[in-house]
Structures are given as C-alpha cells and as structure tokens.
Amino acid sequence: MNLLLLIRFADGIGGPGETALLQMTVSDDRIVDGCRKNCRKWGEEEKIIMIDGRIYNFSAGPSMLPEPVLLRIRDELLNCGGSGMSVLEMSHRSKVYDDIINTAADNVRKIMSVPDNYRVLFLHGGATGMFAAIPMNLGTVSGTADYVISGNFSGGAHKEAKKYLREARVAATSEADGFTHIPRQEELALSPEADYVHVCWNNTIFGTKYSYVPETSGVPLVADMSSSIMSEPVDVSKFGVIYAGVQKNLAPAGLTLVIVREDLIEEREAMPVTPKIWNFRMEADKNSMLNTPPTFPIYVVKLVTDYLMEQGGLEAMRKRNVEKAKLLYDYLDSQDFYKTAVNKEDRSMMNVVFRTASEELDREFVAGQAARGFSNLKGHRLVGGMRASIYNAMPKEGVEALIGYMKDFAAAH
C-alpha cells in the first residue's frame, strides 16, 4: 500500500505551521495505524492524504465514486449475483439483470421519494441527449417552451430546443453578470401557453444552484439535475421532469436518469421525428429496455443507491454536503487571497469556483495539486481559475486537505 502523509509541524520541530510530505510503502493496516501514531508525535496535525495511490479527485465529471462501491464492483466483477459471469458480460434479458435494473429503479424511487404517478427511466445519450428529447416529447401542445439561462448547459439546452420547437423563448438569463446568480422568480417572464419551463438546477461550470423552486402556474417544470442529483432531498412532485447524466453523483458515464410525471407521457404525443430510444412513452412501456440499455452504469446506480440508503439517505447526504461546502466557503469568506464571484445565496454545494488575483498564480496553484494528492482542480475554460467539485463521494477529509493546501499556497505567495 502506498501512503502519502501530510504533517504540519508543531513548535520546535520544523517551523510552527510548516508542512512536510512523507511518502512510504507499507504492507498492512497495522502499519498505517503505527504511522499515524508516530506522525502525531512529530506534528500537531497529521493526515493520510493518499492511500494505495488513490487521490482526492475534484473532477466535475466523471467523478469520484464511493470507495465501498468500487470495492464491491471489484468483488463482484468476475461473478455477479452467483451467475458465474461478470455484469459486463451479462444479457440485459437475464433474470439476474432484471433484478438489477428493477432494484436500481426501486432504489431511485425510495431514496428520492418519487410519487407513484412518476416513471423512472434509464436512457442513453447523457444529459445532452435530453436537450433534444425534452422538446421532442413535451413540446407538442403549443410547440413553445420557456428556458431560463443560468449558464452554459441551460444555454445548450435552449439552443438544441430551437431545432424542434416553433418557439423556444428565453424566460430570463443571468449572462449579463457572467452567470454569477440564479435568476429570481420576479426576473422570469413566463408564458402560460408554454409546454414546459426548463431550468438547470446546478450550474457545474459557474458554481451556482437554485435555492427556490420556480412557480410556473401549472406549466410543467423540467430540471437538468446532472450535477446535483441525490446530493440532497428535492420535492419531486414540484417537477414535470427531472433528468441527470449520472456521471457525477451516481455512476460511470453512459446513462441518463429520467424521472417523468405520467400524464406528460400519457397525454402528450412525442414528435414523429423522435428516435424511439428517446420516446418516453415507448421506453416506459418497455421498462427502459427498448434496446440494450447501458447495463454497467445501471448496475452501478443500484450499488450507489444501496450505499446511499445505508448511509441514511438524502437527508444524511445533505448534512454532509452542507458541512463540506460550508468548510470551503467559510474559508473563502475569511480571507482575501482567493475570491469567489458567485452570489452568496446561489452558491453550489457541489461545484465551488474560486480564483487568485492573477492567472499566473492560478496556474501555479493548479500545477502544485498533484504533489498534494489532488487532481482536476483547474476551472472550466469558460471561467478560468479553479473549481473543486465535491460531490457525495468526496470525503470531508478531501475538503480539509484542499483547504490546507489553499492556506499553505496563500502563505507562500
């Protein structure tokens, strides 16, 4: 096992507050405990920041998965559910796989308290696929919809919808302030004839998130929750459709989770041009198996949701995520070396964006991440600076270690 230890020296050993990194290879857990004890003797604070070559991966997606889930995948990889074969090799029509997909869907229902009049679908094509599938399935009454543009992905969804709708209106946009806030209810120019209102719940690139559910006077609300799905409870009954690419909080890439209210697939006819694999009604009728579904990501959704339930469900996730995000934002608010432009009320719990006073320092900060056992802290090219994506699977220790690095970097510059 490879260990990377970070030691902050107490008085009289190194300079107080100075840090040192130690790397060592050890053979079992007792030696890890021994290392911890010794570190405590040398320093006032010690952290194991990397075990077995695994690092704190702050990627916006695909992103970290819970370690117990990865270990379970490893354990079951050669023989899944007593079938004598890997889930990677298994027919989606087999009994074992049937249990997997049904349990995955049931788990989603349980964990998100999905009401009975909603269907849970597992589709292809990522969230980007839904940018087209939503207008194709829902935009057939007036042929119009309202889009709230709060960042890059809602802009992308709007652009795609224009191909299929008679009119895709912009109900509000926060582009003028660089997408640093979420448009408020009073900023929304909503039309009662719209077939739906589309929002992006958490803006992965700009680090903002809705803190209120828009009132749409009966027009179905459609939310792209790709980067916040299952990070906290949401009242599903307030939405017509919730969709998410699963590669941030739930599974590896290749699958879109769609939760759709039944009347929207029963009472609306999808556009004839709709590919059948994105036709919500046809997929609901076929239990998401109109063709071969993304079997492995669905299996991982089952394992991750099993794990989330063991951990206490979405209330427990919210508590952890609030705590992690608060640590980072409290630190950002307490100093002026790093800045975050995001409006305080709209701060994302999942994607925290910040920058130093210069692009050169930002580059240096990012260049130093690997030596501290981190990766993917570079901000998106549209924003620059840094971004720490701290989804469900990022432990609090990862956030604490990041703050330690931020403090050391600020002190050294």
Binding site for ligand PMP (CB under 6 A): 61, 126-128, 153, 200, 204, 224, 226-227, 245
CA 69 vs CA 38, 64, 227: distances in Å: 31, 11, 19
Distance (Å, rounded) from C-alpha 305 to C-alpha 264?
26
Closer to ligand PMP at the Cβ: 204 or 356?
Answer: 204
Identify the H or E element spanning 375: strand 374-375
Query: CB of residue 185 vs ligand PMP: minimum separation in angstroms?
Result: 21
Task: Write the secondary structure of 331-349 as one string of H (helix), E (strand) and C (coil).
Answer: HHHCCCCCECCCCHHHECC
Closer to ligand PMP at the Cβ: 280 or 409?
Answer: 280
Closer to ligand PMP at the Cβ: 126 or 404?
Answer: 126
Closer to ligand PMP at the Cβ: 198 or 268?
Answer: 198
Query: CB of residue 117 vs ligand PMP: minimum separation in angstroms?
Result: 26
Query: CB of residue 46 vs ligand PMP: minimum separation in angstroms?
Result: 35
Query: CB of residue 213 vs ligand PMP: minimum separation in angstroms?
Result: 17
Closer to ligand PMP at the Cβ: 226 or 288?
Answer: 226
Closer to ligand PMP at the Cβ: 200 or 230?
Answer: 200
Long-range pairs of 289-295 with CB within 8 A, sequence gap ≥ 24 = 289/92, 289/93, 289/101, 292/92, 293/92, 293/101, 293/122, 293/124, 293/255, 294/122, 294/124, 294/254, 294/255, 295/87, 295/88, 295/90, 295/92, 295/97, 295/100
Report which DSSP code applies to 89: G
- What counts of helices (H) and strands (E) characterise the chain? 11, 16
Closer to ligand PMP at the Cβ: 3 or 132?
Answer: 132
Closer to ligand PMP at the Cβ: 135 or 245?
Answer: 245
The residues pairing with 381 across neighbouring beta strands, listed in sequence order, are none
The residues pairing with 227 across neighbouring beta strands, listed in sequence order, are none
Strands annotated E in 193-245:
197-200, 202-203, 208-209, 221-224, 241-245
Query: CB of residue 220 vs ligand PMP: minimum separation in angstroms?
Result: 19
CA 180 vs CA 176, 208, 209, 381: distances in Å: 9, 7, 10, 16
Distance (Å, rounded) from C-alpha 367 to C-alpha 192?
51
Query: CB of residue 364 vs ligand PMP: minimum separation in angstroms?
Result: 26
